[in-house]
Chain A
Amino acid sequence: MRSPPPILPLEVSDLCYTAGGERLLRDISFTLEAGSLTIILGPNGAGKSLILRLCHGLLKPTGGSVQWRGGGNPARRHAMVFQRPVLLRRTAAANISHALKLHGLDRHARAQRTLAALAQAGLSDLARRQARLLSGGEQQRLAFARAWALSPQVLFLDEPTANLDPAATRAIETTIHGFRAMGTKVVMTTHDLAQARRLADDILFFNRGRLVENGPAKPFFAAPRSKEGQAFIAGEILW
């Protein structure tokens, strides 16, 4: 299989987002490069989920721009998994197959890819079960399997383990490492500091709608440059 031309880097410049007269994000600029795993970190209400939705194209910026600079056609080359998995009222297998159909795969290719995705996620035994009867952890793994089946170049994850117990969280983090090993660029939001330490190569630290710090994870965790970053790392509640 020939790999399609890359869609990264993703350039975000002077991004603003206003809703209901309130400026939720202001003057955000950063560039996402291929390879590393980027964690978008920050307290509740920092604008983390908004940033993901703007990058993924679910929301339109009210100012500034989000541009894929890689030359490849970005349409359907980036996927997203939500905090609460949205699964169709169909079997586990049909959920994956439906997504592949939306991407234009023929019946034969869909069947093959669906089986592979379920096997990869360790969900083969549950293929014919109704998706919405699966446990919370299984549902989220299915949502990841669906994203995996689409072979995205970039995967956006919005607090994917926020509703899960530690065992299910571990399973999801293993899956995330798998994506990274495959060369998929993972961009993930979390407010869980420990999880960010475990996963991050790069950090985008947000607070109150602003991008406060942007850089490699290690120096950030060792010695945040900003006051907000220091307070967040120290576990102090941000104002």
Chain B
Amino acid sequence: MPELTAALQLIATFDGDLLAIILLSLQVNLTALAFALVFGLPLGAVVGLYAFPGRRLVIVTLNALMGLPPVVVGLVVYLLLSRSGPFGVLGLLFTPTAMIIAQTILVTPIIAALSRQVVADLWAEYDEQLRSLGASSWQSMTTLLWDARFSLVTTLLAGFGRASAEVGAVMIVGGNIDRVTRVMTTAIALETSKGNLSLALGLGIVLLLITFIVNAAAFGVREAAARRAALI
């Protein structure tokens, strides 16, 4: 297969185009993941911890939003950021920032829904003890998030997986502009349709590799935690 050989060559020689695309992908995915954690973890903890009117509805909504179609999110963000949209003046459409916004919207429900489950399970165990010790709501929340840290690694992983595999939303709001908003998934789609299979294949291999490494690292962390300290 000449394409495969060419693809491996691109990777082995640290081809400039390839590298730029990989770095931008990681930048967009990780930034979106960071924002999703900032919004999603507290949201998940609050919903997991407190009883309030409409809580069931919030849980169902969060779970449903985990399956949000990326192209729909792309379309909505596109409409919001387009010249005639409410945030058009910011001039964010077709920038990496727009892609980060779209991915944050996609990943936040995953982080929130999964961390809610983790926090709720742990709360069932800690509830009486923490109230007995006089913990405030804020103290309970931080205690739970810290003690659930190893279980939350899985949550993080699911979020990263969603962001890095996603193509529809970033294509719509980023525009797949060479050296500006072209990321691995959009490049693969484009190069495949152009017939430039070696670059597409090279990117595909790198994407798989990154996914594998991230999963292996997370698995290692969980294993170590479980073995060392029965922490999970």
Contacts and interface: CB of A to CB of B under 8 A. Distances in A.
Interface of A: 53, 56-58, 75-76, 79-80, 82, 86, 88-90, 98-99, 102-103, 130, 132-133, 150
B90 interface: no
Contacts of B139: 102
A130 B228 contact: yes
Interface of B: 125-126, 128-135, 139, 143, 147, 228-231
B132 A79 contact: yes
Contact of A88 (B132, B143, B228): B143
Contacts of A82: 128-129
A76 B136 CA distance: 12
A130 B128 contact: no
A133 B230 contact: yes
B128 A89 contact: no
Contacts of A53: 128
Given A130-B228, A133-B230, A76 B134 contact: yes
A94 B133 CA distance: 14
B229 A102 contact: no
A56 B229 contact: no
A133 B128 CA distance: 21
A149 B171 CA distance: 58
- List of 7 A-B pairs having minimum Cβ-Cβ separation, nearest first: A86-B129, A130-B229, A89-B147, A132-B230, A89-B231, A76-B134, A80-B132
A102 B135 contact: yes
A86 B229 contact: no
Q: Output the residue of B128, B132, B135 with the most chain A CB within 10 A.
A: B132
A88 B126 CA distance: 8
Nearest to B232: A89
B187 to A, nearest CB: 42
A58 B135 CA distance: 12
Nearest to A77: B134
Given A88-B143, A89-B229, A89-B231, A103 B132 contact: no
A88 B140 CA distance: 12
B231 A58 contact: no
Nearest to B229: A130
Contacts of A132: 229-231
B128 A58 contact: yes
Contacts of A103: 133-134
Contacts of A130: 228-231
A150 B132 CA distance: 12
B131 A58 contact: yes
A150 B135 CA distance: 13
A56 B132 contact: yes
